[in-house]
Chain A
């Protein structure tokens, strides 16, 4: 037998705080790779194109995950590596340059091109950093060319967004050394949510406020020692590290899910700008009250129900906090592909003692635990949802959590409804 078992618990449970341990699991994972992030990233950055350098599998993954979103010419594509590239009959770098040139000629509207690495490109050691530098020389300033890895051997699902944003950080303009503090909100947010937050920050007198990524690559935020970072997503450790290297500082906070989460998140920014309680309540209070009231209806539906979260989007810990604290749900298991202890400190603090938190995955064993736990709602990926439904469990697909506006006070009830709807549906159906 080898030292590392192919599956099962790799390590003993680790205590993250008094009353809360995390179990690491190893085995077959049932998650998307980081390429998937392209689907929401390209919608957000409207002049960016994502070129995956990969295989037919990579192209098929994005297309299958994107589902019905067939646009004439999407702002993503795959340069599919072929036998000739591998056999050395064609120089992969020349081929890539050709593909990029062809693409940029076709799409004069593109201002930012990401070369996205995949498992095959990494295994054959195709150097996309050098390719990006080389191509930049031909296409800048019209097109900026960056690269990152969305490969399944390096990244899981939402980690692709982290890698993408981190790759942008070195290109951000330098803020003046004596510049006044500025707020940078990092992580893709739907435009409507971004606008809501902009209004709130303006009401609080917090300025300037910038978002990463911006809607257009020509509006990249400046960064420097005066930059205070508020993370909108919990899966951005590399982006944060890159920002810190540029002198920015993190405003530690829980994530803006639910009434409490959003208030605490806004509070973290308000504190950094010394906003008084009166003003804070006047600006944030109405939204929070609306959220609480709207959540009440769902709380009646969901309180006391047990939820089991499979590891997928890395939103699991903040969601579990929201579901247990604000909706009274019980947590059967909280799985997460990775647990970024530093970013999730405030969240882990608020999980009930004794919650079963697992990091990593051994999908067959986790399914056994899930069946044994008979939860009322299972949060899982698309591959598992229908089979679990067929076994009589009620499920919510986690991918919807990254496609739907769920952040902030105004969306708190929408977020709760994502979990309530499958339950309500099951109650309605008499077939």
Chain B
């Protein structure tokens, strides 16, 4: 038994729902109690889907357990087929139904429906959402494309002369982080290379499209968490090569273009024009200097976390202070990346552990999921969301991919913006403390000025680079350890000579330093001792 406050991933059948909901002409009959219907709201509220997910729940109750839940299940499959006329049916059990062992696959197959019935076995007490999505896509691909697999030993026939190369784009689902826009962006990128997209799956695909997956020349895997097992199987069954690079960031997009061009045998130069993305120039322009060495904490699914680390270091000049993932299935990738940055990866799905690590590292920017956004908000650290789990604001109305060159532009904006906002808020707070703007009495010699007002009000200022005289890096004040030391008048005067926009930080750090060492009165000496201590 594992004590869990918040979970990064839902149960595996929610992964199956993400696949079914992404597709057309598919229906999923889920043996599950009524409460499990909550999963519909993920799609209708968070993703604002205009249609209900194509899912029928048996909603069995305790009184059915003594009677015939199997019959209830068969009735639900029969009704769902009659009502929705799907082209393929997925059947399976949620956690509770797994325990009563009704064999949904066998029961549904016994109905001899005129469409493919694909049973899903998703062990709810071992596996989670992404695994469930991956398994579902794989089972569907095998069931529908399997019959046309190349016989063992036969090589893949060469592409017909004169036909443009084509590929499948695998992995995008419903409720995915920016999947909708990534597909558009990657399709556009492939088009500049003269490559056709044969099938996008599961997003928007019909069962018949999955049946023709083998016709494409190769596969592009956008989200390995979801599509890697399917691509591996397609590589075996149809000898289709897989493009493994995930095009997040300028460098990775260039690598992706080169890899695709090599596999497809086309000239990459059309897609590599220097003006393809604004990120490189924006990052080089002088006002970005203040981004240098910003300590960033990165957490998400493995693919997005690893990609973010590369963008953060190579393309924005940040320092990766922490890197981690909740996806144990792909922990190895993250461990390798972390080793590359000289840090230890955090592999956990325990929210409190992540929070503790962020608090301990005190990064200047958090790139994470919606969960880390809450952590960062509480700790007063700027944050941008880079990965699922998602919330309603991760489905923006505007075009906002993460992948490709336009995706890189989006990354620049969304990561740099919170830093600027953080700086701006900081400056406003400092102005409030500054004597010219202070509307109250003179600062108390007993210190402890309220350090983080909720809604900063004050004169508008523009964000500026903090002066190199910055006395210390940010230190989040931890509740409960409010310093209670007094300032020597001379030290207080010295403090006022420090530039206003870092003065609050200096005050806090000095007080913390004094508090930790039991210094009762802060002198000029204490002030500089603290500066040396925190200056690292």
Contacts and interface: CB of A to CB of B under 8 A. Distances in A.
B46 to A, nearest CB: 8
A425 to B, nearest CB: 16
Interface residues of A, number: 69
A382 B65 contact: no
B7 A55 contact: no
B493 interface: no
A85 B5 contact: no
Contacts of A58: 35
Given A29-B59, A80-B4, A92-B1, A55 B40 contact: no
A18 interface: no
Interface string A25-45: 001111111111000000000
A28 B79 CA distance: 11
A161 B371 CA distance: 28
B40 to A, nearest CB: 3
Interface stretch (A116-124, A216-224, A284-292): A116-124
Nearest to A119: B96
Contact of A152 (B10, B34, B76, B391): B34
B129 to A, nearest CB: 8
A2 B74 CA distance: 11
Interface stretch (B118-126, B300-308, B311-319): B118-126
A98 B3 CA distance: 9
A65 B50 contact: no
B99 A120 contact: yes
A386 B11 contact: no
Contacts of A31: 34-35, 37
A136 interface: no
A341 interface: no
Contacts of A36: 35, 38
Interface residues of B, number: 64
B100 A123 contact: yes
B299 to A, nearest CB: 15
Contacts of B378: 72
A34 B78 CA distance: 29
Nearest to A99: B3
Contact of B3 (A6, A102, A124): A102
Given A57-B11, A70-B6, A154-B62, A119 B95 contact: yes
B5 A74 contact: yes
Nearest to B128: A56
Contacts of B352: 73
A383 B37 contact: yes
B470 interface: no
A386 B46 CA distance: 10
Contacts of A79: 1-4
A135 B37 CA distance: 33
B126 to A, nearest CB: 5
A81 B96 CA distance: 11
A389 B44 CA distance: 11
Contacts of A178: none
A371 interface: no
Contacts of A28: 37, 56-59, 76
Query: Which residue, of B6, B39, B50, B124, has the highest number of chain A Cβ atoms within 10 A?
Result: B6
Given A383-B44, A384-B52, A32 B3 contact: no
B4 A77 contact: yes
Interface in A55-110: 55-61, 63-65, 68, 70, 72-74, 76-83, 85-86, 90, 92, 95-96, 98-99, 102-103
Given A33-B34, A72-B378, A364-B83, A2 B71 contact: yes
Contact of B96 (A7, A80, A120, A381): A120
Contacts of A83: 123, 125-126
B36 interface: yes
A153 interface: yes
Given A33-B33, A70-B6, A386-B45, A153 B125 contact: no
A56 B11 contact: yes
A70 B374 contact: yes
Contacts of B6: 59, 63, 70, 74
B42 interface: yes
Contact of A56 (B57, B62, B68, B124): B124
Interface string B1-29: 11111110111011000000000000000
B35 A386 contact: no
A418 interface: no
A227 B1 CA distance: 42
Nearest to A28: B59
Contacts of A29: 34, 37, 57, 59
Nearest to A4: B67
B3 A103 contact: yes
A384 B35 contact: no
B60 interface: yes
A384 B56 CA distance: 13
Query: Which residue, of A5, A29, A122, A389, has the highest number of chain B Cβ atoms within 10 A?
Result: A29
Nearest to A160: B35
Interface string A168-208: 00000000000000000000000000000000000000000
A140 B42 CA distance: 40
A82 B1 contact: yes
B49 interface: yes
B41 interface: yes
B59 A56 contact: no
Given A65-B38, A381-B41, A386-B48, A73 B96 contact: no
Contact of A120 (B14, B34, B95): B95
A56 B7 contact: yes
A72 B359 CA distance: 12
Given A68-B391, A386-B48, A6 B38 contact: no
Contact of B42 (A53, A64, A381): A64
Contact of B35 (A33, A102, A390): A33
A283 interface: no
A346 B175 CA distance: 45
A393 interface: no
Contacts of A151: 33, 35, 62
B94 interface: yes
Contacts of A98: 1
A323 B14 CA distance: 37
B355 interface: yes
Nearest to A93: B1
B62 A61 contact: no
B75 interface: yes
Nearest to A61: B38
Interface in A295-328: none
B33 A153 contact: yes
B99 A123 contact: yes
A385 interface: yes
Given A28-B58, A57-B10, A63-B6, A6 B355 contact: no
Query: Which residue, of A58, A383, A390, has the highest number of chain B Cβ atoms within 10 A?
Result: A383
Interface string B100-113: 10000000000000
Contact of A60 (B10, B37, B67, B126): B10
A19 interface: no
A56 B41 contact: no
Contacts of A59: 4, 6-7
Query: Which residue, of A5, A60, A61, A78, has the highest number of chain B Cβ atoms within 10 A?
Result: A60
10 contacts: A28-B59, A32-B34, A32-B38, A33-B34, A55-B125, A64-B41, A80-B1, A99-B1, A153-B61, A156-B34
The 10 closest A-B pairs by CB, nearest first: A33-B35, A6-B75, A383-B40, A152-B35, A152-B33, A390-B50, A95-B1, A55-B95, A119-B96, A382-B41
Interface of B: 1-7, 9-11, 13-14, 33-42, 44-45, 48-52, 56-62, 65, 67-68, 71-72, 75-76, 78-79, 83, 94-96, 99-100, 123-126, 128, 352, 355, 370-371, 374-375, 378, 391
Given A57-B95, A119-B33, A390-B50, 15 more contacts: A28-B57, A28-B58, A36-B38, A55-B124, A57-B10, A57-B124, A60-B10, A60-B14, A61-B38, A85-B1, A119-B35, A156-B34, A364-B83, A381-B41, A383-B41
